[in-house]
Chain A
């Protein structure tokens, strides 16, 4: 018998010992970061960067497969007892010796996860991780000239690139309200002092928003540069338009952070994605009824919110709890009770 077959036999036996739980349920008690466990990480330190941004140092579990500069990682953090998932760019270089990775988080107003990470997260806390992903990365062949166009926390994936790969000719145009709001400012200025980077800071509180036409003056050879841009949608829209107007759109790479969630309304179009049905729903009819009327096979139970027999994944949009009025927005892993939830805007139910 091969050793793999032997191992799988041994594992089966172990499963018989621990049933109805799995051996991993017990192993997680002592070694949550071990190889073979669900991918997790442990927060080891939180370093403030600005008033409202901080870098979180994470030791990933043994299953972490590494990342490419510019990629992001989805993390699941328990905030007030509720597991919430968000994506953040990795800011650590890929060859960091101690095996840790970092994300740099800017607290956005009312942002549950970002404020938690910046202001409350404690070293030692376990978080859930996904593997790094995203195609906002540098090419294999080094471009001769590079431009990084960033604003606010859009600097984070670019910082991952800057720390990872040196280029001969790099220019960065970065926008932030005030000098003290520039994340990584000291490190950027060190790079400038070492002549590894030419930097233009645009302080939008005093200078106003960056007019993309000013690029001609700030970076005269911008059109010749391979450009990576990351920041708010307005900046990226303007950049895309500008680059295509000059016929060099293939040189522009953009990264858009999470699109803003539509404001929750009253009723909306409900998609049942597994069956491909779409129907209009008002804001007062339970989604269970909506689905059943549309001929979708819906799991159901007590129909009054007590048995949890109807819980179904919410894939997109937002729903309102008919008992409390509470709004729930779609996120990975969010399940809703369809018998007491109504559409709060367009939504997508996995049925």
Chain B
């Protein structure tokens, strides 16, 4: 938490007015949703499936290096599309309005070891409701890292650059463990909780299926290309994991992003909720291809304001949202991917050490706003 509250200049009325202006942006998109949007997601899903089929087909011949390269690249992109633009966004209910039972948050399952329903709870419900609230939003460091000065330092944090690197490589397993709240639940008393056991079993089943598919069935189907297909799938999963980890780190970790104290969200109004999402998220700038490959999470600020708007609309929404940032004199944290990734990693390194200065307790945001 920064010592100076960057929203201190706003009055309570201004914050509510900001909320109304954001509601208007949301209503406009909802009123305009239609055929083109539906065609978009269907096209992306169909393209992803074709790309995966072709890539897996090419990998049957991965004993030949060019086929290995081509197939691995294609499979990596297909897996990224599945998780980012398709899975993440469908599981947010962004496409529920189409009433297509096959493209719906209640039925979708993704190429990921964390079962969709568990991820929806930890991500949609906990992270999106309590964005960047210390103690409520486990995404702040995923329970293994310290990403804000206000979080207590522990010698364990000395290793956090390493933890973060390992987490990046095996990100989907990290997410599964995180969704299970493994750290908390492995304590003796909780281990036997039937609800936790059922969820752990579901994760186990999902892992078994995913591993069997990627590391047994497809390599076996490749016959003489068994080992090269195995290596290709491992590489594709690694690429997908590192990519999604990087994109997701850019959402809330770069310098300039605010975190909040638990008590600051007591009796939070709609306007204040919006403001917290605005100050607690960061974007990635770049080309259309870049936005697509991040699943439009490059528009993290817009996504956090409107998590259920179709992802293909975030780009146009971003223009209006940015104008509101300017109008209300707030900092819109954004930058190209390398810069944002660097900024997030620098924070991981910096906070692996205890704070240089003694911890300064910052005034409660809420109280300051009321006072203003």
Contacts and interface: CB of A to CB of B under 8 A. Distances in A.
A in complex with B = yes
- Counting chain B CB atoms within 10 Å of each CB, the highest count among A83, A307, A324 belongs to A307
A311 B93 contact: yes
Given A20-B110, A80-B34, A308 B99 contact: no
Secondary structure class of chain A's binding surface, majority of residues: loop
B99 A334 contact: yes
B331 to A, nearest CB: 24
Interface string B16-52: 0000000100010010011111110000001001100
B209 A20 contact: yes
Contacts of A311: 93, 96, 105-106
Interface string B88-106: 0000110011111110111
A301 B99 contact: no
Interface string B152-184: 000000000000000000000000000000000
A117 to B, nearest CB: 15
Contact of A81 (B33, B102, B106, B273): B33
Contacts of B185: none
B261 interface: no
Interface stretch (B3-11, B124-132, B191-199, B248-256): B124-132
Interface stretch (B140-148, B213-221, B278-286, B322-330): B213-221
Interface in A203-249: none
A305 B306 CA distance: 10
A282 interface: no
A80 B218 CA distance: 40
A307 B106 contact: no
A307 B102 CA distance: 19
Secondary structure class of chain B's binding surface, majority of residues: helix
A94 to B, nearest CB: 30
Contacts of A260: none
A16 B49 contact: no
A2 interface: no
A82 B30 contact: no
B221 A17 contact: yes
B105 A308 contact: yes
B213 A29 contact: no
A308 B96 contact: yes
A81 B212 CA distance: 37
A202 to B, nearest CB: 39
Interface residues of B, number: 46
Contacts of A309: 120-121, 124-125
Interface in A246-298: none
A306 B273 CA distance: 12
Given A16-B212, A17-B217, A78-B38, A308 B128 contact: no
A298 to B, nearest CB: 14
B106 A335 contact: yes
B129 A307 contact: yes
B308 interface: yes
A25 B110 contact: no
B149 interface: no
Interface string A68-104: 0000000000101111100000000000000000000
Contacts of B39: 81
Contacts of A25: 49, 102
Contacts of A26: 49, 53
Contact of A308 (B37, B49, B120): B120
A13 B49 CA distance: 19
Interface in A316-351: 323-324, 326, 333-335, 337
A131 B129 CA distance: 43
Contacts of B355: none
Contacts of A306: 124, 128-129, 307-308
A82 B23 CA distance: 23
Contact of A324 (B30, B100, B109, B273): B30
B362 interface: no
A335 B35 CA distance: 20
Contacts of A308: 92-93, 96, 105-106, 120, 124, 308
A77 to B, nearest CB: 11
Interface in B50-92: 50, 53, 92
Given A17-B213, A17-B218, A81-B34, A333 B99 contact: yes
A306 B94 CA distance: 10
A337 B96 CA distance: 10
Contact of A29 (B46, B120, B212): B46
A81 B98 contact: yes
Contacts of B100: 78, 83
A308 B23 CA distance: 18
Nearest to B56: A17
Given A19-B212, A307-B128, A333-B101, 17 more contacts: A17-B213, A17-B218, A17-B221, A20-B109, A21-B49, A78-B98, A80-B35, A84-B99, A302-B125, A304-B129, A305-B308, A306-B128, A307-B120, A323-B23, A324-B27, A326-B30, A334-B99
**Shortest beta-carbon contacts, A-B, top 8:** A81-B38, A308-B93, A307-B124, A20-B109, A307-B125, A83-B99, A301-B125, A80-B34
